[in-house]
């Protein structure tokens, strides 16, 4: 079957950012107070970067480093919601709509539970989805590894895309 006819496409993305100076983190488009910031070319939003990579991966369109090189001053300090929104237009141009997203943030700190609902809503708003299509979860790594040592945060994301011309509409 030609790729253009695939009824579903699955994508997976991973991103990591190291902590540096600062007093907040951008996670899922939400400002989360913290004792560190992220070292990054953009705002360092690992959640939105992992989701962007999952969407690009589902379409076999490369990764965000390819679309938004960290050598390009246009992305210096960029709001990652802007990058994610652009990725969504690429998905649309490929003939697909987003079915659902599931992201897991791996962070020893800060405590993310109070921010999860706002992250889901922010992602849904950026992608014009219903919040029920967007899952964000958090886990520690039980103090193991670089996340456990609080050197940074990682996120993994999975997405499924549905071909627009075969999607069931009500
Ligand atoms: N940064 C984090 C990490 C985890 N949580 C929540 O704590 C619960 C227990 O986490 P485990 O590492 O033991 O799986 C879990 O419900 C997480 O949602 C958090 O809020 N912030
Ligand atoms: C988002 C981009 C672009 O500003 O930079 P960073 O914020 O450093 O993020 P990363 O996930 O390392 O790679 C993608 C980049 O090119």
| CA–CA gap between residue 16 and residue 11 (Å, rounded) | 17
Please tell me if the CB atom of residue 92 comes closer than 6 angstroms to any atom of ligand 2.
no
ipTM of the complex: 0.93
Beta strand pairing call for 24-27 and 134-139: unpaired
pLDDT tens, N- to C-terminus, the chain (170 residues): 666 679 999 999 999 999 999 999 999 999 999 999 999 999 999 999 999 999 999 999 999 999 999 999 999 999 999 999 999 999 999 999 999 999 999 999 999 999 999 999 999 999 999 999 999 999 999 999 999 999 999 999 999 999 998 755 55
Cα-based torsion angle of the residue sequence 151, 153, 139, 136 in order, rounded to the nearest 10 degrees: 170
Which of 18, 45, 72, 75 to probe ligand 2 with, by most ligand atoms within 8 A of CB? 75
Calpha distance 116→168 (Å, rounded): 29
Q: What token pair was written down for 4?
A: 């253009």
CA distance 59 to 3: 9
Strand partners, 24: 33
- For 15-163, which CATH superfamily applies? 2-C-methyl-D-erythritol 2,4-cyclodiphosphate synthase (3.30.1330.50)
């Amino acid at each position: 079957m030609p790729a253009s006819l695939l009824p579903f496409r699955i994508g997976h993305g991973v991103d990591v950012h190291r902590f540096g100076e600062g007093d907040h983190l951008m996670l899922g488009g939400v400002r989360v107070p913290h004792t560190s910031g992220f070292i990054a070319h953009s705002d360092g939003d690992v959640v939105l970067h992992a989701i962007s990579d999952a969407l690009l991966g589902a379409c076999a369109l490369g990764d965000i480093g390819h679309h938004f090189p960290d050598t390009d001053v246009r992305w210096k300090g960029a709001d990652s919601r802007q990058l994610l929104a652009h990725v969504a237009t690429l998905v649309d141009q490929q003939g697909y709509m987003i079915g659902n997203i599931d992201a897991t943030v791996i962070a020893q700190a800060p405590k993310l539970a109070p921010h999860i609902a706002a992250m889901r809503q922010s992602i849904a708003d950026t992608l014009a989805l219903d919040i029920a299509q967007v899952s964000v979860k958090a886990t520690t790594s039980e103090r193991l590894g670089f996340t456990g040592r609080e050197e940074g945060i990682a996120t993994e994301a999975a997405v499924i895309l549905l071909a627009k011309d075969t999607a069931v509409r009500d």
